[in-house]
Amino acid sequence: MSYEELEHTADIRLRFRTPDLPSLFSEAAEALMKIMYHDPRPGPVRREVRLEGEDTEDLLVDFLSEVLFLSEVESEVYSSARVTLSGPSVSALLEGEPFDPERHRAGTEVKGISRSGFKIVKDDEGYLLDIIFDV
């Protein structure tokens, strides 16, 4: 994963640098799970996600919010997200394992994805994103 944790007063702020948009979506979802569950591993869980959005930024926030929602409601921990983007829509295959309270309680509870300062920037190296997870 190509992200770094940045200083923030109360929440978790991460910076991602990826070569393309599908990687940005995948890495942000995987980082979310790592923060929440510390040690997500591959397993038998497979879940498909399909969403449409107004623009890429809204689509990414909606996608991460859906990953967060599904993880909590379905008691699943996703170790990977294979993402495909097509215009204003995203489809992803989330893979992972069932939630195990013995192994997955070491992380930090994430309440939501903040839109504060949320902006995807494209430059010569690819895509850059700073994102805040509300904890």
Nearest to 127 by CA among 22, 20, 40: 20
Note the pLDDT tens digit of each residue in 26-76. 999 999 999 999 889 999 999 999 999 889 999 999 999 999 999 999 999
pLDDT for 104 equals: 87
**Own/partner pairs for 22-25, CB < 8 Å, 24+ apart?**
22/83, 22/84, 22/85, 23/83, 23/126, 23/127, 24/60, 24/120, 24/127, 24/129, 25/60, 25/63, 25/81, 25/83, 25/85, 25/90, 25/92
| Residue 3 confidence class, pLDDT cut points 50, 70, 90 | low
| pTM as predicted | 0.92
Note the pLDDT tens digit of each residue in 85-116. 998 899 999 999 999 998 888 788 999 999 88
pLDDT for 103 equals: 87
Decide if domain 3-134 falls under CATH 3.55.10.10.
yes
Give the whole-angstrom CA distance, residue 94 versus residue 64. 12
| Residue 7 confidence class, pLDDT cut points 50, 70, 90 | low
